């Protein structure tokens, strides 16, 4: 809760809205005990008194009634009606949405078609029609405003409920013996309450405005009772001669609606988990750099990463995702980067082209040299011209790089023409060739397909074709086969291996699978807690791992063909990178750990074969 | 002895393109007639690629999805009405994604309590004692009970999921990819825990996974699914070592293994479920396919001893 308030008030406009609305609500609540004239007391002798006249702070209206008093009572009424309408619309709409979304099928079909029909009418027309049927009156206006807003809530909440109803914890609740009603009340509803609150807080302003509108037309509150809309309506006749009678309620409506909307937006932002972690600002085009100075190059190579440090600064916490990582990639070489979830593989890969999201990502040290040119802190224009043309990425989920609404052929053509000014026909020819290169059968015809029309394996081939579009020198593949079936994985690996040999591509291959590394990579680097702990030629590392972590990780992976057996495990968990222990990060899980392991920084020793351990399993 | 779990001609089809009135536009057969038995105390491993019907089968077995036809028997008793509460006391499910299978707005205690209260009517001190026992069984500390799911790592969350499944005191656990969301170093912790619990509580497991090596390591028998049908079954040590069905062989050859060159890279995809082939579903990808294969669907039959395959021309060992 206090977190919620802090987030809310971080947004200054929302804080302002909250203060203004708070004042108005307090005044409205206190109205009955404030020393005001009775709101309906007429005194025709004092008609249209100007503001600041004696005894009438805001003047009087066409019947000589005190405007301040009418304003306060009117505000009280308008607020009450607006809140009530929002509550009714929210509750009814949410109930309909939850039921339609949860039960699905025919229930869903029938109710949602009904809701669609309601939505087909113009908003205000529908409200007018409802009041026309029920007769004028404040309560009927409330009903009308609530009814026209129900579809909005029903649609929104239905969408959210559908998402929740397919989550596994709902199935788990069923298996725990709960009935539909219990599941709805105890599993579904608590998860949609924030959504209902967000929807209400962002629409309540409109509902107050709509009620005022109906009253303005004489369909809401009936004379002599004052609400903000009817005050405006009555003042209309004297708009020119006594403008203050319109301005007073008008300004109040403006203040209420504005403050409600500002506050509503603030509540939405504070409750939305996507906006919670980072700032509200737009991500930067390239990762932020805060580096003292570039380390001297330690060698050459097509791509050289030297002592790279990438961190995430979230509030007071610093996550050292990549901690002085050095790697080298030569032309035509395949380097495997292996490690468990959260070890920093992806962040290392994304740092190369400045693709780590900023905020919260910051590159705080090191150098990344492509053909000798340092990319860290390079101007965005340079990075953009290199992305795709020199260094291309393949991700685990090809859908993240493919646009769902364009044909894959057109996307390939677009990718080619971004970096090269060739004719459309030429680009098209090349696109087909690329699809053939990645062994897509019937390439010319498949080029007209949309991404969702292809299987996972086919999509990943298109992802590879996109990466190859501009003949890059380096491909960085981040777990490109993890989401695929084994037979498809074998096809993709064979394809990558082929392309590497036929085109001289250098590949940085990220994975957590030793089998894949063994089959594809010349060299391998093992990451743990943001650091490289071991590196060397693949066959040597796999046959005689030197770091205790590598050795035990390999032992955890069951191999096919050995039959039923017990599996080795590493007790404990990988370290959290915002709280790394001093010394060896593996020490808490290592059987060989001694005091010296926990004392201080341990260097990555060796040349072609490197290991970061005081007591390695074998001397490399 | 009656098997713990037995299915007879279990099938499930789905209607595609439902209309408000009138018949659906098309039907897809997600699970073709499937019969198998799992003896008490054994683990049946089920492998197959995405879309082959693994999860549909699992959901039918726990009563989350009514079968289109066929029968499920648990310890000799037929369960025909799909009612998760009736199934729940006999057979439980451990989900693939440990985090999304726990309601983010409930404490761990509330999550574990649900099956105890609803299925066994427990309350008071008996309830507390049972929760403590369950938590002890899955090696979790009791102070976790008052926390919320997002505070746990994947491995811990999966243990909570196992504790919840065990709370119902089932005879059978369906493990649907229980470790594929976990890190390798943590994966083995959960697998070893499952093995221990099985012996201690005399449970029967159905272990579904796409990781062949893991399935082989934990199963007594393995069944291979392809396109909604059982294509091969046999003892765990034989199925991948000496596959009899060409598809099983393709699977075994495709698994990346240290010290083996890239291989098994064969093109081809699953047939279109809306337009299933007449004969063997694997015929378009099979190097041994004959005319007979394209005409007639092969039946599952004994190849040798207790190894079965649905193939007209099974491989020699
Ligand atoms: N946007 C972010 N904000 C804060 N921390 C982050 C962010 N992205 C990544 N991290 C942290 O950086 C560390 C390294 O993450 P990274 O994604 O590189 O791991 P990985 O090795 O690729 O893991 P996986 O196998 O799960 O893909 C993790 O501890 C993660 O929590
Ligand atoms: S440095 Fe010490 S604790 Fe770390 S891996 Fe080596 S032996 Fe184990
Ligand atoms: S039945 Fe024929 S096509 Fe099918 S797997 Fe056997 S040999 Fe191949
Ligand atoms: Mg990653």
Residue A292 placed within a domain: no
Query: What distance, in Å, lies between the first and last C-alpha atoms of chain A?
Result: 55
Q: What is the mean pLDDT of residues B93-121?
A: 90
Q: What is the mean pLDDT of residues B104-116?
A: 92
Q: Choose among A190, A553, A563: nearest Cβ to B184.
A: A553
For chain B, say whether A515 makes contact (Cβ under 8 Å).
Answer: yes
**Which residues of chain A from 88 to 147 reach within 8 Å of chain B, CB to CB?**
105-106, 109-110
Return the axis-axis angle of helices A67-103 and A138-165, rounded to nearest 10°. 30
**Phi, psi angles (nearest 5°) of residue A610:** -115, 145
For residue A277, pLDDT over 50 is answered with: no
Measure the CA–CA gap between A383 and A350, rounded to whole angstroms.
12
Q: What is the mean pLDDT of residues A19-37?
A: 90
What's A424's DSSP letter? H
Measure the CA–CA gap between A244 and A66, rounded to whole angstroms.
12
Question: Ligand 2: distance of its center to the CA of B74 in Å?
Answer: 50
Q: Are residues A388 and A419 in the same domain?
A: yes
Residue A157: exposed, middle, or buried by beta-carbon count in 10 A (0-12, 13-18, 19+)? Answer: buried
Measure the CA–CA gap between A523 and A536, rounded to whole angstroms.
6
What is the pLDDT, as a whole number, of residue A282? 58
Element (H, E) at B196: helix B184-201
Q: Are residues A570 and A504 in the same domain?
A: no
Mean pLDDT of chain A: 87
Q: pTM to 2 decimals?
A: 0.82
Question: Ligand 2: distance of its center to the CA of A587 in Å?
Answer: 5
Q: Are residues A380 and A505 in the same domain?
A: yes
**Chain A residues with CB-CB distance to B96 below 8 A:** 168
Q: Are residues A519 and A546 in the same domain?
A: no
Residue B149 placed within a domain: no
Q: Give the torsion through C-alpha atoms of A501, A371, A511, A311, to 10 deg.
A: -170
For residue A357, pLDDT over 70 is answered with: yes
Check A567 against B103: CB less than 8 A apart: no
The beta-strand segments (E) located in B85-166 are 91-94
Q: Which atom of ligand 3 is nearest to the CA of B312?
A: 1
Q: Choose among A109, A174, A490: nearest Cβ to B262.
A: A490
Measure the CA–CA gap between A142 and A453, rounded to whole angstroms.
48
For residue B272, pLDDT over 80 is answered with: no
- Residue pointed to by tokens 């060896």: A584
Residue A48 placed within a domain: no
Check B258 against A494: CB less than 8 A apart: no
Name the pairing type of β-strands A610-611 and B229-235.
Answer: unpaired
What is the pLDDT, as a whole number, of residue A274? 53
The residues pairing with B230 across neighbouring beta strands, listed in sequence order, are: B225
From atom 1 of ligand 2, which residue's Cα is the shortest distance away?
A: A613
Q: Which ligand is nearest to the CA of B285?
A: 3
Measure the CA–CA gap between A528 and A588, rounded to whole angstroms.
13
Three-state SS annotation for A494-534: HHHHHHHHHHCCEEEEEECCHHHHHHHCCEEEEEECCEEEE
Q: Choose among B62, B188, B255: nearest Cβ to A569.
A: B188
Q: What is the mean pLDDT of residues A528-536?
A: 94
**Chain A residues with CB-CB distance to B219 below 8 A:** 564
What's B135's DSSP letter? H
Q: Which atom of ligand 1 is nearest to the CA of A527?
A: 21
> Which one is predicted more confidently, A597 or A56?
A597
Q: Is the CB of A315 under 6 A from ligand 1?
A: no
Residue B247 placed within a domain: yes
Residue B131 placed within a domain: no
Q: Are residues A85 and A181 in the same domain?
A: yes
Q: Which ligand is nearest to the CA of A587?
A: 2
Q: What is the mean pLDDT of residues A248-268?
A: 88
Measure the CA–CA gap between A331 and A316, rounded to whole angstroms.
41
Q: Are residues A259 and A406 in the same domain?
A: no
Residue A297 placed within a domain: no
Q: What is the mean pLDDT of residues B134-155?
A: 85
As for how many domains chain B has, the answer is 1
Q: What is the mean pLDDT of residues B73-77?
A: 88
Q: Are residues A317 and A385 in the same domain?
A: yes
Name the pairing type of β-strands B221-226 and B229-235.
Answer: antiparallel
All residues at 6 or more sequence positions from B225 whose CB lies less than 8 Å from its CB, including other chains = B46, B47, B48, B52, B53, B54, B57, B231
What is the pLDDT, as a whole number, of residue A117? 87
Q: Which ligand is nearest to the CA of B288?
A: 3
Q: Choose among A109, A175, A513: nearest Cβ to B88.
A: A175
- Report the chain B residue with the minimal C-alpha distance to residue A542: B258
Q: Are residues A11 and A125 in the same domain?
A: yes
**Chain B residues with CB-CB distance to A520 below 8 A:** 262
Measure the CA–CA gap between B236 and B234, rounded to whole angstroms.
6
Residue B111 placed within a domain: no
- Report the chain B residue with the minimal C-alpha distance to residue A495: B265
> Which one is predicted more confidently, B214 or B151?
B214
Measure the CA–CA gap between A529 and A585, rounded to whole angstroms.
6
Q: Are residues A314 and A222 in the same domain?
A: no
Q: How confident is the model at residue A280 (pLDDT cuts 50, 70, 90)?
A: very low
Name the pairing type of β-strands A605-606 and A610-611.
Answer: antiparallel
Q: Give the 3-state secondary structure of residue B17.
A: coil
Q: What is the mean pLDDT of residues A524-541?
A: 94
All residues at 6 or more sequence positions from A132 whose CB lies less than 8 Å from its CB, including other chains = none
> Which one is predicted more confidently, A7 or A473?
A473
- Whether residue B210 contacts residue B243, with contact meaning beta carbons closer than 8 Å, is answered with no
Element (H, E) at B84: helix B84-88
CATH of the domain at B224: 3.40.50.300
Q: Is the CB of A346 under 6 A from ligand 1?
A: yes
Q: Are residues A357 and A498 in the same domain?
A: yes
Residue A110 placed within a domain: yes
For residue A278, pLDDT over 60 is answered with: no
Q: Are residues A275 and A331 in the same domain?
A: no
Q: Is the CB of A312 under 6 A from ligand 1?
A: yes
**Phi, psi angles (nearest 5°) of residue A17:** -60, -45
Tens of pLDDT, residue by residue over A556-596, are: 888 887 777 778 888 888 888 888 888 899 999 999 999 99
Q: What is the mean pLDDT of residues A601-605?
A: 89
- Whether residue A176 contacts residue B88, with contact meaning beta carbons closer than 8 Å, is answered with yes
Measure the CA–CA gap between A426 and A35, rounded to whole angstroms.
83
Tens of pLDDT, residue by residue over A407-430, are: 999 999 998 998 888 999 999 999
The residues pairing with A510 across neighbouring beta strands, listed in sequence order, are: A337, A478
What is the pLDDT, as a whole number, of residue A401? 79
Q: What is the mean pLDDT of residues A35-60?
A: 81
ipTM for this prediction: 0.88
All residues at 6 or more sequence positions from A81 whose CB lies less than 8 Å from its CB, including other chains = A138, A141, A142, A145, A208, A211, A220, A227
For chain B, say whether A184 makes contact (Cβ under 8 Å).
Answer: no
Tell me the two tokens of residue B254.
């495709």
Residue A113: exposed, middle, or buried by beta-carbon count in 10 A (0-12, 13-18, 19+)? Answer: exposed
Question: Ligand 1: distance of its center to the CA of A136 in Å?
Answer: 61
- Whether residue B220 contacts residue B235, with contact meaning beta carbons closer than 8 Å, is answered with yes
Strand order in the sheet with A610-611: A391-394, A474-478, A506-511, A334-339, A523-528, A531-537, A610-611, A605-606
Q: What is the mean pLDDT of residues A481-506?
A: 86
Q: How many CA atoms lie within 13 A of B25 on its CB side?
A: 7
CB pairs under 8 A between A and B: 206
Measure the CA–CA gap between A141 and B213, rounded to whole angstroms.
68
CATH of the domain at A364: 3.40.50.300
Measure the CA–CA gap between A483 and A397, rounded to whole angstroms.
7
From atom 6 of ligand 2, which residue's Cα is the shortest distance away?
A: A613
Spell out which residues line ligand 3, taking CB within 6 angstroms.
B 245-246, 280, 282-283, 286, 288-289, 293, 298, 311-313
Residue B49 placed within a domain: yes
Q: Is the torsion defined by CA of B291, B294, B295, B300 positive or negative?
A: positive
Mean pLDDT of chain B: 88
Q: Is the CB of A548 under 6 A from ligand 2?
A: yes
Q: Choose among A519, A564, A571: nearest Cβ to B236.
A: A564
Least confident of A557-561, A584-588, B143-147, B229-233: A557-561
From atom 31 of ligand 1, which residue's Cα is the shortest distance away?
A: A342
Report the residue of A164, A172, A585 to disrupt the B interface, i.e. the one with the largest count of B CBs within 10 Å: A172
**Chain A residues with CB-CB distance to B63 below 8 A:** 175
CATH of the domain at A97: 1.10.3720.10
As for how many domains chain A has, the answer is 3
Check B185 against A169: CB less than 8 A apart: no
Q: How many CB atoms lie within 10 A of CB A540?
A: 16
Q: Are residues A503 and A601 in the same domain?
A: no
Give the range of the structural domain holding residue B99, as residue numbers without chain letter.
Answer: 5-106+170-256+264-309
Give the range of the structural domain holding residue A560, as residue numbers without chain letter.
Answer: 534-611
Q: Which long-range contacts (CB under 8 A, 24 or more apart) does A177-186 make?
A: A177/B84, A177/B85, A177/B88, A177/B114, A177/B115, A177/B118, A177/B119, A177/B168, A178/B85, A178/B114, A178/B118, A179/B85, A180/A102, A180/A103, A183/A102, A184/A98, A184/A99, A184/A102
Q: How many CB atoms lie within 10 A of CB B80?
A: 12
């Amino acid at each position: 809760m206090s977190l919620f308030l802090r987030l809310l008030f971080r947004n200054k406009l929302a804080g302002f809205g909250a203060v203004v609305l708070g004042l108005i609500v307090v005044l409205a609540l206190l109205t009955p005990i404030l020393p005001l004239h009775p709101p309906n007391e007429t005194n025709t002798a004092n008609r249209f008194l100007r503001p600041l006249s004696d005894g009438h702070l805001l003047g009087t209206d066409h019947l000589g009634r005190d405007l301040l008093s009418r304003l306060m009572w009117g505000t009280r009424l308008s607020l009450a009606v607006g809140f009530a309408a929002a509550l009714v619309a929210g509750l009814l709409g949410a109930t309909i949405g939850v039921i339609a979304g949860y039960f699905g099928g025919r229930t869903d079909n029938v109710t949602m078609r009904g809701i669609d029909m309601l939505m087909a009418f113009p908003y205000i027309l529908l409200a007018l029609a409802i009041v026309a049927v029920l007769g004028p009156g404040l309560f009927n206006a409330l009903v009308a405003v609530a009814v026209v807003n129900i579809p909005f809530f029903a649609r929104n909440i239905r969408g959210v409920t559908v998402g929740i109803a397919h989550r596994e914890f709902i199935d788990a609740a069923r298996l725990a013996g709960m009935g539909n009603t219990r599941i709805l009340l105890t599993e579904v509803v608590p998860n949609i309450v924030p959504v209902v609150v967000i929807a209400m807080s962002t629409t309540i302003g409109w509902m107050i405005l709509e009620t005022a509108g109906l009253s303005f037309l004489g369909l809401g509150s009936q004379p002599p009772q004052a609400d903000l809309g009817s005050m405006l309506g009555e003042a209309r006749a004297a708009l020119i001669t006594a403008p203050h009678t319109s301005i007073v309620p008008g300004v109040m409506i403006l203040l209420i609606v504005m403050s409600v909307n500002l506050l509503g937006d603030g509540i939405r932002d504070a409750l939305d988990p996507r906006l919670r972690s980072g700032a509200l600002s737009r991500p930067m085009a390239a990762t932020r750099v805060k580096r003292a100075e570039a380390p001297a190059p330690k060698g050459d190579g097509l791509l050289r990463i030297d002592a790279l440090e990438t961190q995430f600064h979230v509030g007071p916490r610093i996550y050292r995702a990549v901690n002085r990582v050095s790697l080298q990639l030569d032309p035509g070489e395949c380097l495997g980067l292996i490690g468990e979830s959260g070890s920093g593989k992806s962040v290392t890969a994304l740092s190369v082209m400045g693709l780590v999201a900023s905020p919260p990502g910051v590159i705080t040290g090191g150098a990344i040299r492509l053909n000798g040119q340092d990319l860290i802190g390079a101007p965005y224009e340079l990075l953009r011209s290199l992305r795709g043309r020199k260094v291309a990425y393949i991700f685990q989920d090809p859908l993240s790089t493919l646009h769902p609404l364009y044909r894959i052929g057109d996307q390939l053509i677009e990718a080619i023409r971004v970096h090269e000014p060739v004719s459309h026909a030429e680009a098209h020819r090349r696109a087909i060739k690329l699809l053939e290169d990645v062994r897509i059968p019937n390439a010319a015809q498949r080029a007209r397909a949309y991404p969702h029309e292809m299987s996972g394996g086919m999509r990943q081939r298109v992802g590879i074709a996109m990466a190859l579009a501009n003949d890059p020198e380096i491909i960085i593949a981040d777990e490109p086969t993890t989401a695929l079936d084994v037979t498809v994985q074998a096809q993709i690996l064979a394809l990558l291996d082929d392309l590497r040999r036929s085109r001289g591509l250098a590949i940085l291959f990220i994975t957590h699978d030793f089998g894949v590394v063994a089959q594809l990579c010349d060299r391998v680097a093992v990451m743990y807690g943001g650091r490289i702990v071991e590196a060397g030629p693949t066959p040597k590392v796999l046959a005689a791992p030197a770091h205790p972590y590598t050795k035990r990780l390999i032992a955890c992976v069951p191999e096919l063909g050995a039959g039923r057996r017990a599996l080795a495990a590493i007790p404990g968990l990988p370290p959290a990178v915002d709280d790394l222990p001093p010394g060896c990060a593996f020490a808490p899980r290592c059987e060989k750990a001694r005091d010296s392991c926990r004392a201080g920084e341990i260097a990555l020793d060796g040349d072609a074969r490197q290991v970061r351990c005081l007591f390695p399993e074998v001397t490399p | 002895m009656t098997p713990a779990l037995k299915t007879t001609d279990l099938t499930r089809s789905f209607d595609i393109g439902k209309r408000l009135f009138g018949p659906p536009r098309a039907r897809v057969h997600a699970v073709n007639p499937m019969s198998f038995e799992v003896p008490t105390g054994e683990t049946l491993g089920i492998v197959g690629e995405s879309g082959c019907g693994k999860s549909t089968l699992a959901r039918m077995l726990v009563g989350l999805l009514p079968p289109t036809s066929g029968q499920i028997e648990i310890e000799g008793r037929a369960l025909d009405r799909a009612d998760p509460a009736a199934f729940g006391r006999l057979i439980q499910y451990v989900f693939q994604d440990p985090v999304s299978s726990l309601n983010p707005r409930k404490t761990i205690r509330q999550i574990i309590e649900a099956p105890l209260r609803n299925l066994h009517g427990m309350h008071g001190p008996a309830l507390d004692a049972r929760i403590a026992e369950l938590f002890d069984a899955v090696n979790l500390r009791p102070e976790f009970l008052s926390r919320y799911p997002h505070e746990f790592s994947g491995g811990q969350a999966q243990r909570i999921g196992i504790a919840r499944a065990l709370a119902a005191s089932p005879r059978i656990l369906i493990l649907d990819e229980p470790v594929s969301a976990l890190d390798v170093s943590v994966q083995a912790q959960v697998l070893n825990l499952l093995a221990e619990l099985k012996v201690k509580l005399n449970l029967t497991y159905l272990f579904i996974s796409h990781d062949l090596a893991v399935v082989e390591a934990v199963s007594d028998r393995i069944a291979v699914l392809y396109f909604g049908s059982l294509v091969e079954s046999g003892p765990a040590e034989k199925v991948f070592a000496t596959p009899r069905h060409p598809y099983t062989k393709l699977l075994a050859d495709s698994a990346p293994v240290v010290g083996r060159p890239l291989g098994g890279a064969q093109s081809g995809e699953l047939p279109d479920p809306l337009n299933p082939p007449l004969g063997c579903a694997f015929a378009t990808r099979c190097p041994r396919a004959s005319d007979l294969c394209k005409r007639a669907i092969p039946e599952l039959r004994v190849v040798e001893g207790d190894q079965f395959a649905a193939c007209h021309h099974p491989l020699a060992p």
